[in-house]
Structure 1
Amino acid sequence: MKIKLLKTAGLVAVSSMLAFSQAALAEINISGWINEGVIFYDDGVGSDVVQSTDNGTTLASRITFAGSTDLDGLEAGFEVIIEPRAVNTPLIFANQDSSFGSGGGAFGDSNGHTLGVLGSSLYVKGAGGKLTVGLQSMPTDNIAVLEDPSLTLWSGISPVFRSNGFTIQNANDNVTPVWGDFLNCFTAPLLRGAGGIGIDCNGIYRQGVRYDLPAFGPVGIAIGWANDDIYDIAAKYKGNMGSVTTQFAIGYAINQGVNVAHYSEAENLQLQLGLAHAQTGLFGSFAYQHEEADLNIAAIGNLADSATAFRIATAADVVADTALAAPLGFAAGDLIVPVGHEAGNASDESDAWWFKVGIKKKWFSAGDTSVAFDYGIYYDQYGLNQAANGVTGSEVQRIGFSIDQYFGSSLIIYGKWEQLELEVDGTSTVAAYGSSEELNTFALGAVYFF
């Protein structure tokens, strides 16, 4: 249900002072959803349970304010999206930490939420398409996430959101990796480390301009440009092939303005296919992502006895090797690693695959019920610190099982079990990863739409 509100008398009084002969009173539509859950984890060393807003930022609670007006054959409008979220940054997803102070971590002991602005944009659309300007979802955002005709999105999607910030137990790694360190993105550098999500690696709202071409039947095409030389293009198909509902999306993005020490440009290709058969209730969704980056890592010879990567804070500051900085031509902000651990060890491309299959039927009078299994595998998304410690390849396997119960069109209650497992290739120094523990989580959540 959407709530429609007229502008108040106070706003009318203000608008009457503007230099317009008439001030149009637009309606504001308020819509969105609230997503809350209780999440249990077992990381092989400890376990806990907590109540938390569930499953990342895109599918976590959100409230959208939207309005539009007619302009002689055109439509102009706006959209503002806010998210009630935990006090700590939404890019540092679930973790075991309870010491973040005010707000705590996802498994912290503190309380508190804040309102974050996810998007704020204006648009004009007509027979020639739609032009949107502002902080918004760009064409390849969610391009390998939302093409699931079963709409079982809140229990399971291709990116990893529930476990990114968890420390990998018994890895015996001196840089204390978290699961997100092996789910790193190139195209959106914010989605690295504890924010690594594995797929949907251009999946953040950006300041930019987006143009959606007029629809070609069931096919839609959009192009976008965002600040700092980020470009993308995407195409989507939604239709029916016989009795099978079919959705397909493909997108390409390039970020030529990366502000990261060890690479300056990244490319991203993603696709997703979703199928659903109404008569049997069977459905499936398949997603794939490939990323590449241009590395610019240097090495310093006499650091070969160290296994740590260093960042130069100033041109004359290279930890204990101060005298080496200027003669070797390093500049402030450059990243250096020991010989034998330079660019050859760092990952410059990665692949990720994910699929979900299930059945969705109305077995109960309350509404549809879905049962689904999903599996994902995320290759070579390890971070630079892991490369500097001898990692040459990585694989995160993800297995999940979910049940969703629908109550009309307003409420979903779901349960989702998920397991992450890590395998690592590299020099003898990475053998410690072989003893790393699996991570198991179970989320019991609900989504209410309004």
Structure 2
Amino acid sequence: MRRRSASPIFQFAIASAVCICAGYAEAADLSGDCCADLDERIAELEATAARKGTRKVKLTMSGYVAQEITGWDDGGKSNVYLHGLGPTQATHIKFNGEATISPGWTAGYMMRIQNLDDNPFGRSGTAAITQDRSAFSQGLNVQMSYWYLQSKALGTVSVGRQAPAAKSAAMFTDQSGTQIIDNYTFLDGFPQFIIRSGGDLSPAALTWGQLAFCYSQSVPLGGDCDGLVMNAVRYDTPVIAGFSASASWGEDDDWQVAARYAGEFSGFKVLLGIGYSGSTDERLAVALPNLIAKDSSYFQAGGYAEHLATGLFLHGAYGYEDNSGTLLAGDATPPDGEHWYVKVGIRRKWTPLGATVVYGDYGQYIDQIGPSALALGVRSSEIDLFGGGVVQELDSASMSLWLKYRNQSANISGASGVGPLDDFRALSTGALIRF
């Protein structure tokens, strides 16, 4: 949304000028010639009023507000929580400024402020949403802030706190209208919930996030393992025949490369994404107290295909994390982890309100064993996830309403004294409105 309105005081001054000039023209019988260009000047002044004195940089604001209500059952307790969609997909506002340097060249900046007042992705066991704690607040957070130079012929260079090159390369291929609402990360999946065993919250260190752990950034993301923002320098090529590529380096040190495609052919809408990253920064995102050295790499690939005539779609994503260069205390090396995810459904406009999306999804998280689970003796693990939902889009309000279900089950080996693990079930309803 582009801000073009002036303040009430400014509008009053403009109106007064109109009246004065109109009165003068009538009294002098000048047929309004003195005000011939007044409308043009008013439009120009109003257009620059929101730009703090510069007519060169245009300012655009956008974003969305999103909230969910989730009823959950962990096998020993059930409750209902109200929360956001987790970091990177939380309620936010973006400020984007851009100016033309010369034909084909632009410069700009972007700042993204997100609301983490009810963040379900708390990563600390003492400050996170758990079975016994329904709220976790991190307040407002400046998630991104960077400047960029863009050439239509040569591409874009951006510097600052931003999404690195391969961030969500697989996940963002999902164009079904459900990507923000339901995906293969644990951003809104309560990773700090303890996995019950026979109804008991024991051992407390065995959380769902400890079986969906990503060492690249030391967080329980599940999927999209090197997908958090950071201070980085990034380059993006121009889009040529639907193809583009990206590369980035972030301090200290995380490098990423990615390639993407978006296009239509033979009646299908198709998107593809592939990315590779390497990280050696021990303190990137979260510093693990028992980490001796880190050298993890992450490969991801994903795609989306939608038959435009029927609305039938398929989305798939895969990720593999190599942790052979990472060392924990006690000479322990975490295992390599992998995960895959598939979503199928139909997207059709059955009513004048907007498109309706009905989908089902399934995923697995294999040997993504976090340091706390390793300390318990876990040597292999698997989480199976299945669910689905329905989304109704309201075009006139730029809004989406949804109802979704998720079931998680886990199996582990190597941890003595830990019996069969209970399933976790969640039913969520929510809304998102864009501006």
Q: CA deviation at 1:24?
A: 4.0
SS of the equivalent of 2:294 reads strand
User: Aligned partners of 2:251 and 2:367: how far apart in 1?
Assistant: 28
Q: CA deviation at 1:203?
A: 0.8
Is 1:178 equivalent to 2:204 in the alignment?
no
Alignment of 1:241-256 (within 5 A): 241-256=265-280
Number of the residue aligned with 1:326? none
User: Aligned partners of 2:362 and 2:186: how far apart in 1?
Assistant: 11
Is 1:64 equivalent to 2:99 in the alignment?
no
Is 1:376 equivalent to 2:363 in the alignment?
yes
Cα deviation code 1:240-260 (max 9, x no counterpart): 131110000000000122345
Number of the residue aligned with 1:440? 425
Q: CA deviation at 1:90?
A: 5.0
Q: CA deviation at 1:84?
A: 1.4
Number of the residue aligned with 1:274? 304
Counterpart residue identity of residue 432, structure 2: V
Number of the residue aligned with 1:96? 131
Retained in 2: the 8 A contact 1:263–1:294? no
Cα deviation code 1:408-443 (max 9, x no counterpart): 16010001110111101226x1x51x4221111111
User: Aligned partners of 1:415 and 1:175: how far apart in 2?
Assistant: 31
Measured at CA, do residues 201 and 378 of structure 1 come closer, stay the same or move farther in structure 2, by a change above 3 Å? same
For the pair shown, the structure with the greater C-alpha radius of gyration is 2
Retained in 2: the 8 A contact 1:169–1:436? yes
Is 1:167 equivalent to 2:194 in the alignment?
yes
Retained in 1: the 8 A contact 2:359–2:390? yes
Measured at CA, do residues 421 and 4 of structure 1 come closer, stay the same or move farther in structure 2, by a change above 3 Å? farther
Counterpart residue identity of residue 176, structure 1: A
Cα deviation code 1:275-316 (max 9, x no counterpart): 111111100100000001135658xxxxxxxxxxxxxxxxxx
User: Aligned partners of 2:138 and 2:325: how far apart in 1?
Assistant: 38
Flag the structure with higher helix content.
Answer: 2
Alignment of 1:198-237 (within 5 A): 198-237=222-261
Retained in 1: the 8 A contact 2:157–2:233? yes
Number of the residue aligned with 1:19? none
User: Aligned partners of 1:400 and 1:87: how far apart in 2?
Assistant: 24
Retained in 1: the 8 A contact 2:69–2:82? yes
User: Aligned partners of 1:269 and 1:202: how far apart in 2?
Assistant: 9
Number of the residue aligned with 2:172? 146
Q: CA deviation at 1:168?
A: 1.0
Retained in 2: the 8 A contact 1:262–1:295? no
User: Aligned partners of 1:89 and 1:150: how far apart in 2?
Assistant: 24
Residue of 121, 125, 138 corresponding to 2:150: 125
Q: CA deviation at 1:357?
A: 0.2
Alignment of 1:189-338 (within 5 A): 189=218, 191=219, 196-259=220-283, 260=288, 261-295=291-325, 297=327, 335-336=329-330
Q: CA deviation at 1:394?
A: 0.3
Is 1:38 equivalent to 2:64 in the alignment?
no
List runs of 5+ in structure 1 lacking aligned partners. 13-22, 99-106, 299-334, 337-341
Q: CA deviation at 1:163?
A: 2.4
- Percent identity, aligned pairs only, is 26
Cα deviation code 1:205-248 (max 9, x no counterpart): 11010000122211010100100121100000001131110000
TM-score normalized with structure 1 length: 0.79
Number of aligned residue pairs: 378
SS of the equivalent of 2:182 reads coil
TM-score normalized with structure 2 length: 0.82
